[in-house]
Amino acid sequence: MRALLVDVIAELSERYGGSGDDTPIAADDFTPPNGAFLVADDGERLVACAAWRRHGDDAELKRMFTAKESRGRGLGRNMLTAIEESARAAGCHRLILETGDRQPEAIALYEKAGYRRIEDFGHYKGQEGVLSYAKTL
C-alpha cells in the first residue's frame, strides 16, 4: 500500500508543486467506525485506493487515486461507489471532498457521479484553485 500512497503524493506534487498534499491526517482517521481505507488490485499489485474519514456529521473523501497504467477501466468510479457505501453504512449522510482545478479527470468523475459544488472547507479553504464538492448519500 505504501507504494500506491507514494504515487498519490508524487502525482499531486507534479500537478501542484510542493509536497503534493499538506492536509493533516492522523493515524486513526481511517479506522472504523470513523473512516475506512479501501484498495483495489489487479491480481498482482495494488492499482487504486480511496479513503474516507469523519468530518463532523459528514464523511470526507481522501486519497482517491488510480495508478496511471490502470486508468480508463472504471476503477475510479468503482472506488467512489465503494467509499459511498462504506460511509453510508457507518451512518454518514453526506460525502464531501476537496479537489483542485488541476485535476480535470477527478472533477469530471465527481460531477458525473452527482457531486455538487459547496462552500470550501478544510485545510485548503480559501486557497486559489480549490474546489469543494458534496453528495447526499
pLDDT in tens, 85-127: 999 999 999 999 999 999 999 999 999 999 999 999 988 888 8
Cα–Cα–Cα angle for 114, 94, 120, rounded to 5 degrees: 80
Q: What whole-number distance in Å separates Cα of residue 29 and Cα of residue 88?
A: 17
Please report, for the chain, the start and end positions of each structural domain, with discontinuous segments joined by +: 2-136
CATH number of 2-136: 3.40.630.30
- The reported pTM is 0.87
Using the predicted structure, report yes or no on whether residue 46 has a pLDDT greater than 70. yes
> Any residues with CB less than 8 A from the CB of 64 and at least 6 apart, and which?
49, 50, 51, 76, 79, 80, 83, 97, 106
Mean pLDDT is highest, among 6-10, 69-73, 121-125, for 69-73
**Pick the residue with more confidence: 89 or 128?**
89
Rounded Cα distance between 115 and 101, Å, is: 15
